[in-house]
Amino acid sequence: MSSSKRAKIVSMSKGKRQSVALALAGSAVLFTAAGAHYFEQSRLAASAEGFDGRRAFDDLRRLVALGPRPPDSPALDQARKYIAEQLGDAGVGVTYDAFAATTPVGQVGMRNIIGKLPGDRPEVVIIAGHYDTARLPGIRFVGANDGGSSAAELIELARVLARRRRSLTYWIVFFDGEEAMDHWSPTDSLYGSRHVVESMQRTGQLHEVRAVLLLDMVAGRDPHFGLESNSTPWLRDLLFSTARRLGYESAFPRRTPLPVEDDHLPFITSGVPAVDLIDFAPFLQGYHHTAQDTLDRCSPNTMEMVGRVVLVMLAELSRRS
């Protein structure tokens, strides 16, 4: 401080000196708050960066072009081959979890695909979705949003996560047989996720899983990601607070809680925290499980928004664990 400025302050009355001191302290608090906000915004941007919605949409286009992809079909074999090739190109190690499912239409061969990304630590976060499409007699169901979008989203997430330094270990899991083979029931649905949980329980690996982020129908043009009420409350809060921090409140309205039976349930039943990031719009707009679930109802922007939300959630889970 210059000597003339110091002289001016010294010549002030005591009351005036106190107000100057308070004003200076106030600006310091403001500067600190602004600095913290700036730091927080740049950390958020860095965590969210890297997911390319157009690339994910291109994966979706290729999967949908294969046509209906029910379990044990040649089209699902081709989808599996495509997914494994993309993971391999990204440098992700791929394993298969093959099993024969007992279903109302007999024994059906199914295969989950697991991409493993080791981190510095052994604790695992599973990012998952299904890649089969519903068997709907009489309907050419290509499942662009339901079955296609989850698989495509996971491929692009694997590319981004493979390039990053990882603290936690990530498993990218593509479930087979999420859909019913005949009519949805506890025994005719979720074949792939039930099998993964059983296997991980048997081998003792389930204890290492800190969280499961399940993605289902994540590409709709006008999404309404709802409060799925079977999800673990703290993880669902993390999902919605992350969406708010990124400015996506309108696509994540905190209304209409609905329970959905989905691939997160076998984990929740076994005590593993899990959340279903699922769009309620296909149910509300009436195109769920119809021939109208096509590519034109999907958008690369939604895929990128979901990718960014998931990446920030993963960063937050690393900080918390």
Determine which residue in the list 35, 184, 185, 254 makes contact with ligand 1BN, applying CB under 6 A. Answer: 184
Phi, psi torsion values for 180, nearest 5 degrees: -70, 150
SS3 104: coil
* Residue nearer to ligand 1BN on the CB measure, 59 or 179: 179
Listed ranges 8-16, 96-104, 228-236, 259-267: which one lies at the site for ligand 1BN (CB under 6 A): 259-267
Rule CB under 6 A: say whether 153 interacts with ligand 1BN.
Answer: no
Cα separation, 12 vs 9, in Å, equals: 5
Number of residues forming the site for Zn ion (CB under 5 A): 2
Asked if 260 is part of the footprint of ligand 1BN (rule: CB under 6 A), the reply reads: yes
Q: Which of residues 134 and 144 has its CB atom nearest to Zn ion in the complex?
A: 134
247 φψ region: left (φ > 0), alpha (ψ -120 to 50), beta (else): left
- Name the residue number minimizing CB distance to ligand 1BN: 261
Q: How many CB atoms lie within 10 A of CB 222?
A: 13
Among 59, 132, 153, 216, binds ligand 1BN (CB under 6 A): 216
Q: Which two tokens stand for residue 164?
A: 């990053």
- Specify whether the CB–CB gap between 213 and 172 falls below 8 A: no
Residue 309 CA to its chain's centroid (Å): 7
Residues 298, 239, 69, 160, Cα dihedral to 10°: 80
Q: Are strands 169-175 and 124-130 parallel, antiparallel or unpaired?
A: parallel
Residue from 59, 97, 132, 146 that binds Zn ion (CB under 5 A)? 146
Q: Which does 96 bind (CB under 5 to 8 A by kind): Zn ion, ligand 1BN, none?
A: none
Q: What is the closest distance, in whole angstroms, from the C-beta atom of residue 289 to Zn ion in the complex?
A: 6
Chain residues binding ligand 1BN by CB under 6 A are 146, 179, 184, 216, 260-262
Chain residues binding Zn ion by CB under 5 A are 134, 146
